[in-house]
Amino acid sequence: MEKLNEIFLFDVFQYESAQHDVRALWHSNVVEHLFLFGLFENRLRKNGVLDQDIVPCNLYTTDYEYLNNILSPLTVCKFNDIKFDDYFSMDEDINTVKLCIGVVLYNNTKEEISQLLWSIKENIKTIDDKVEFAILDNSEEPVTLSQFDLGGIGASRWLIHRPENIGFGAGHNQLMSKAFDGDATHYMGLNPDGFLLRDAVVNALQFAVSKGCPSLIELDAEPLTHPKWYHPISGETEWVSGAAFLLDREVYNRTSGFDEAFPMYCEDVDLSFRARIAEARLYVAPRARFYHDTVERTYKIDSWRNIKMLIGTWYLCEKWGNEKRAKALKVQLAEEGVSINRLPTVAERMSDVPDDIKSSLEKPRFSDSRFW
């Protein structure tokens, strides 16, 4: 630490003493944490190391962005002047990519489906010949492709009807299996109650290609971004939401997709954990955005959805061996009036769970939080 204090233009010891949370949880020294995370959390300014009166940074500018662009000690860093580094400069060649976009329906309105289809069409104008589009419909009364204007949506299109409702995970598994039995290199799964924002597909594919490794990728959400943490530069995260995701053939081969025994909710967390064990990397692609409006759910009490989420969380904890949390969830479900005897049987229990996944299972959102 003495050597570091000589190098840096601030008091390293003063900074370290103020980072109570980091010293309690971080496995290495506090300065390492500063460079990996703290600069993006504005810890220098929050601790008075960068005086906001002397260094009047824009509120949207992180400590990293300011220090990366500073030309003199008193330079004001304006938002429009920020020059992002190579992590944010995506111009990858996606000519070899073959994408299947898959959607699993269940009693969705024609308006919802039409809005999603329009957004797909707008997104793939320049790569239409590299895309196929697939629907699996779990509704009792199926949609037909002839109901919609599909011109310009993919080089090929297909629909599977499963009126017995095989569920979200099994539905995507069928679509992924058929896609990867063909010549698809990547599969993008999208919820039907949302839509792609501008350039989301191309940005997601360029992000995936830039990583150069088997990857499971989440398209970032609008208008309410997911509160789970991801690294602001690399995009790495602990699990990937199933609302809008992208995976490559290798990740599918290593994981076989979703666990179809899962009840509703948390099957995406389970897939993410298995992908981590299979040595795939997990990311959020911040420039690939999917509009999935869950704001109303945040403020409206929905007992049916809440119970389904509790059951999914309980199943995940049972499968992955967090007995303490599973037991607490059983008590909570009983208080909600759910008969414990009617909970689903856990079809598979994981053994030799790695410590990093055990750590994720302890966290309220199975991940560190970005906001609270």
pLDDT in tens, 74-118: 333 333 443 434 444 456 789 899 999 999 999 999 999 999 999
- For residues 242 and 216, is the Cβ–Cβ distance under 8 A? no
pLDDT exceeds cutoff 70 at 26: no
Lowest mean pLDDT among 143-157, 263-277, 286-300: 286-300
Tokens 């309105």 -> residue: 109
**Rounded Cα–Cα distance for residues 298 and 11 (Å):** 42
**Count of H helices and E strands in the chain?**
15, 8
- For residues 176 and 246, is the Cβ–Cβ distance under 8 A? no
Nearest to 254 by CA among 237, 285, 282, 276: 276
Local structure of residue 259 (DSSP, 8 states): -
Tokens of 290: 């999917």
What's phi and psi for 240, nearest 5 deg? Answer: -115, 130
pTM for this structure? 0.76
Paired residues of 244 in beta bridges? 190
Nearest to 367 by CA among 271, 272, 239: 239
Lowest mean pLDDT among 51-60, 257-266, 347-356: 51-60
Across 172-199, b (16+ Cβ under 10 Å) vs e yields bbbbbebbbeeebbbbbbbbbbbbbbeb
Residue 119 banded pLDDT, cuts 50, 70, 90: very high
Cis check: omega of the bond before 223, within 30 degrees of 0 = yes
Tokens of 220: 């970032």
220 CB neighbour count, 10 Å cutoff: 22
pLDDT on residue 165 = 93
- For residues 98 and 130, is the Cβ–Cβ distance under 8 A? yes
Greater confidence (87 vs 327) lies with 327
Task: Quickly list H helices, the chain.
Answer: 2-7, 12-18, 20-25, 30-36, 43-46, 63-69, 110-123, 168-181, 200-211, 249-255, 267-277, 295-299, 303-320, 323-335, 355-362
pLDDT in tens, 216-263: 999 999 887 888 988 877 889 999 999 999 999 999 999 999 999 998
What average pLDDT does the structure give for the chain?
84
Nearest to 191 by CA among 318, 314, 297: 297
Paired residues of 189 in beta bridges? 102, 245
Tokens 């320049």 -> residue: 126
pLDDT on residue 348 = 93
| Amino acid identity for residue 334 in this structure | A
